[in-house]
Amino acid sequence: MKKITTLIIAALFGINVSAQKTTKIDVDATKPLVVIQPTMYGIFFEDINFAADGGLYAELIKNRSFEFEYPWMAWKHLPEAETRFNLVNELTIFNNARENAANPRIVRVDKRDATKDIGLQNEGFDGIGIKKGEKYDFSAFARLKKGDISLLVEIVNSKNQIIGSTTVALKNATWTKVEGVITATETDPKCKVNVIFKGGGQLDIDMISLFPQDTWKGRKGGLRKDLVQLLADLKPGFVRFPGGCIVEGRTLAERYQWKKTVGKVENRQQLVNRWNMEFQHRPAPDYYQTFGIGFFEYFQLCEDIGATPLPILSCGLACQFNSSETTPLEELEPFVQDALDLIEFANGGTDTKWGALRAEMGHPAPFNLKAIGVGNEQWGQEYFERYEVFSKAIRAKYPTIKLVSGTGPGSKGEMFEAAEKALTVLKPDLVDEHYYDSPKWFRENAARYDNYDRNRYKIFAGEYAAQSVATVSPDNKNNWECALSEAAFMTGLERNADVVYMTSYAPLFAHVNRWQWTPDLIWFDNLTSFGTANYYVQKLYANNAGTKTISIKSNGQNLIGKNGLYGAASLDEKNNEVILKLVNTSSDKHTIDLNINGLAENAVGKVISMIEKDIKNYNTINEPNKIIPAESEISITKSKANIVLEPYSFKVFRIKK
């Protein structure tokens, strides 16, 4: 009665009163249980939502080599009044396949009137993000066939004012990389780049490119620094690349072929991005893959951020949501050879064909590849038969390489059960399970692996994300309910670290204006980027994984959702710390009587908290810090503490033993 009265008064005064509950939690830090693999929390990378071209790959020019299906896409002729239909055909696309079959198209500039400037303007990816004071590297491949032509390269802001320029002289009659540097005088997220042809004569030009100098590790033609930093901050155990469905392709011709993504950038054969027209509600006809980030760059990224590489390869079966185009078993050999050659590319000596290419690309030392995935979300007999062929060949030549198989797109039902059955016989080392489901599903499945068969394969929870509305709904948000539900579910992944070896949220990146799929872990525009609440949940797990699990119980039971509470505990044996992860998914405040067996009499540590009253709230590009972790200190005397778990909160405790 008293409580009801309080609630009525609270409602009248608009006060948010939640119930308070007390729970006893016992942690035993004296008995380490199972090893948590260093690969436990990793990254799933796929070129979806303009994650690579127009995102992580810092190239600012779209369709730099005129290889999009329509070669002038993203380009406008200057002066604007004159179109490509002009009488003299001063700017013409030439197909130069004889000289470069992978990158055949070039622009021939025929400047008959030396007094009149003509040029090309590139729109970039949703504009070009430029920062004041920063330097930009312009480059192009050119050959001057006759006369005297130079390039005036200008960056123009959204008001069409010039905010930086450089002049590039052209001298050589053979293909030469020409370069210039532009310092920008203004910041603008929506710039364009003009390349003006001055003088008279004839010129061939290709691979027109502009990169910021301030890339990750300052590498020329490299990756966007802010985006890699967000990845590095996760301290991921692995990076899975290059996807996802992009591995499979809508058709076999559109599958990802790693050999076409290595070697000189100008010789990499571009391909349409399979996500370009996948969703009618988010068409992106200008979405292509230049492979400026190819397999070398993925391996290098892994090395840079201390993550183990996990490439996934086509198994000869195109996406079964699309064409299901299938390679006959007797013609699978080149696909299998690609896998064997990839292992040589990553690990082989510099005296091997593919190891030599790696060295030529600047990395003589091996990349230390330990595992490889065969197929993505594939299902049915067609998949298992093909997996078996790959498995036999890879195990015969490289017995130490671990093999990862798929289980199809879902984690339940007939298709999934058929996969479990087939894979139990085929014995991959790891099996990739995907869950895109409601936040409720995540909260209700924290015990998913508690009773999994320990004698089968290990689990790679390779793609998961709570969907606030429904899978592939454009209305999905990275809201706190989703992130908190994932945090709850992840307690179960960690508790079962003896069977779950790898986990990754998916997808990873999305451009705020150009995405196809939501939710995503990290969002960005042309200048900035931010982590979602889900990102911080991943970060807290990955940064605080520990090395072995320990028992955490309430009344002798695992914390798997009773009263909305979830928990996992581990030891960090290197730093001699106890790590607790506690999640309160309820609207009630919980007081915890915590007892940690195995602590010194006076133990201290820190608490990292994520608390948000409004579970529908989410971070945005304009308000990126609405839901972020905050740190405080804790002291525990004689192994006991009273702690508070606010409604809808996730807390990580790191306590010195």
Q: Which residues are catalytic?
A: 377
The secondary structure of 425-446 as a DSSP string is HH--SEEEEEEEE-HHHHHHTT
Q: How far is CA 260 from CA 263, 332, 342, 531, in A?
A: 8, 18, 12, 32
Scanning 32-40, 237-245, 489-497, 524-532 for contacts with ligand AHR by CB under 6 A, the matching segment is: 237-245
Q: Name residue 6's amino acid.
A: T
For ligand AHR, give the closer residue by CB, 180 or 244.
244
Nearest Cα neighbor of 647 from 568, 564, 570, 539 is 564
Please identify the residue of the shown chain whose CB is closest to the bound ligand AHR. Answer: 244
For ligand AHR, give the closer residue by CB, 239 or 559.
239
Q: Does 157 bind ligand AHR (CB under 6 A)?
A: no
By CB under 6 A, name the one of 384, 517, 523, 653 that touches ligand AHR. Answer: 517
Beta bridge pairs of residue 181: 137
By CB under 6 A, name the one of 243, 249, 605, 647 that touches ligand AHR. Answer: 243
**What is the SS3 string spanning 53-81?**
ECCCECCCCCCCCCCCCCCCCCEEEECCC
Q: Which helix (H) or strand (E) holds 635?
A: strand 630-637
282 contacts: CB under 8 Å, gap ≥ 6:
474, 515, 516
Q: Which helix (H) or strand (E) holds 336?
A: helix 333-347
For ligand AHR, give the closer residue by CB, 54 or 164.
54
User: Least distance (Å) from ligand AHR to the CB of residue 48?
Assistant: 6
Nearest-angstrom CA–CA distance, 240 and 224:
19
User: Least distance (Å) from ligand AHR to the CB of residue 467?
Assistant: 11
Angle between helix 533-543 and helix 225-234 axes, rounded to 10 deg: 50
User: Least distance (Å) from ligand AHR to the CB of residue 443?
Assistant: 21
By CB under 6 A, name the one of 506, 522, 542, 645 that touches ligand AHR. Answer: 506
Can you list the positions of beta strands (E) in 101-185?
105-111, 118-122, 128-130, 135-156, 162-169, 176-183
Nearest-angstrom CA–CA distance, 211 and 9:
61
Scanning 30-38, 62-70, 240-248, 396-404 for contacts with ligand AHR by CB under 6 A, the matching segment is: 240-248
Binding mask 78-117 toward ligand AHR (x if CB under 6 A, else -) reads: ----------------------------------------
List helix spans (H) across 376-508: 380-397, 413-426, 439-444, 480-495
Q: For residue 416, give both structure tokens.
A: 């999934």
Angle between helix 380-397 and helix 333-347 axes, rounded to 10 deg: 40
In the block, tokens 């078996």 appear at: 388
Q: Does 463 bind ligand AHR (CB under 6 A)?
A: yes
What is the Cβ-side half-sphere exposure of residue 40, based on CA atoms within 13 angstroms? 29
By CB under 6 A, name the one of 107, 155, 210, 245 that touches ligand AHR. Answer: 245
Q: Cα–Cα–Cα angle for 313, 317, 322, nearest 5°?
A: 115
Nearest-angstrom CA–CA distance, 266 and 279:
30
Q: For residue 543, give both structure tokens.
A: 């940064």
User: Least distance (Å) from ligand AHR to the CB of residue 508?
Assistant: 9
Nearest-angstrom CA–CA distance, 211 and 495:
45
Q: Does 311 bind ligand AHR (CB under 6 A)?
A: no
User: Least distance (Å) from ligand AHR to the CB of residue 5?
Assistant: 50
Q: Which of residues 382-421 bind ligand AHR (CB under 6 A)?
A: 409
Binding mask 31-70 toward ligand AHR (x if CB under 6 A, else -) reads: ---------------x-x----------------------
By CB under 6 A, name the one of 254, 377, 433, 612 that touches ligand AHR. Answer: 377
- Identify whether the C-beta of residue 344 lies closer than 8 Å to the C-beta of residue 352: yes
User: Least distance (Å) from ligand AHR to the CB of residue 407?
Assistant: 11
Binding mask 335-374 toward ligand AHR (x if CB under 6 A, else -) reads: ----------------------------------------
User: Least distance (Å) from ligand AHR to the CB of residue 628?
Assistant: 24
Q: Which of residues 575-614 bind ligand AHR (CB under 6 A)?
A: none
For ligand AHR, give the closer residue by CB, 279 or 452.
279
By CB under 6 A, name the one of 54, 507, 567, 647 that touches ligand AHR. Answer: 507
For ligand AHR, give the closer residue by CB, 46 or 486.
46
For ligand AHR, give the closer residue by CB, 242 or 439.
242
Q: How far is CA 385 from CA 127, 255, 349, in A?
A: 46, 19, 32
Beta bridge pairs of residue 41: 503
For ligand AHR, give the closer residue by CB, 127 or 244.
244
User: Least distance (Å) from ligand AHR to the CB of residue 517?
Assistant: 5
For ligand AHR, give the closer residue by CB, 136 or 517.
517
Angle between helix 480-495 and helix 533-543 axes, rounded to 10 deg: 20
The secondary structure of 496-514 as a DSSP string is TTTTEEEEEES--EEETTT
For ligand AHR, give the closer residue by CB, 506 or 512.
506
Pairing of strands 271-272, 288-289: antiparallel
Q: Does 376 bind ligand AHR (CB under 6 A)?
A: yes
Q: For residue 415, give both structure tokens.
A: 């298709």
For ligand AHR, give the closer residue by CB, 373 or 409.
409
Q: Name residue 586's amino acid.
A: S
User: Least distance (Å) from ligand AHR to the CB of residue 385?
Assistant: 21
Scanning 148-156, 243-251, 410-418, 612-620 for contacts with ligand AHR by CB under 6 A, the matching segment is: 243-251
Scanning 15-23, 108-116, 141-149, 242-250 for contacts with ligand AHR by CB under 6 A, the matching segment is: 242-250
Scanning 207-215, 238-246, 257-265, 535-543 for contacts with ligand AHR by CB under 6 A, the matching segment is: 238-246
For ligand AHR, give the closer residue by CB, 384 or 517.
517
User: Least distance (Å) from ligand AHR to the CB of residue 542?
Assistant: 19
By CB under 6 A, name the one of 244, 348, 428, 605 that touches ligand AHR. Answer: 244
Chain residues that interact with ligand AHR, rule: CB under 6 A: 46, 48, 243-245, 376-377, 409, 463, 506-507, 517
